[in-house]
Amino acid sequence: MSETHADGPRQIDAKLLEILVCPLTKTTLEYDAAAQELISRAAGLAYPIRDGVPLMTAEAARRLEETPGRTGGA
């Protein structure tokens, strides 16, 4: 579920994205507007963004090999 506005998915502030880094690897993050996530390729994690606020904890993150919205096995 991604949060949408009249103009589409909510955008994260560009200045905020410039200063945020992965809390585990301290590497830069990629913004996935459609999934409303910040991606850390180095850690293999995707951090969700809820109500415009990035949840930057390992507990909140999902592993990149997981598909958003899916639970359990195939």
Q: Which domains does the chain have, with CATH numbers?
A: 4-63 (2.20.25.10)
Model confidence, pTM: 0.74
Angle, alpha carbons 9-36-59 (nearest 5°): 155
Q: Is 74 helix (H, G, I), strand (E, B) or coil?
A: coil
Token output for 46: 């995707």
Per-residue pLDDT, 1: 41
Per-residue pLDDT, 17: 87
Averaged pLDDT, groups of 10, the chain, 74 residues long: 52 87 96 95 96 92 78 46
C-beta neighbour count of 45 within 10 angstroms: 23
Per-residue pLDDT, 11: 79
Q: Pairing mode, if any, of strands 45-50 and 53-54? A: antiparallel
Per-residue pLDDT, 65: 87
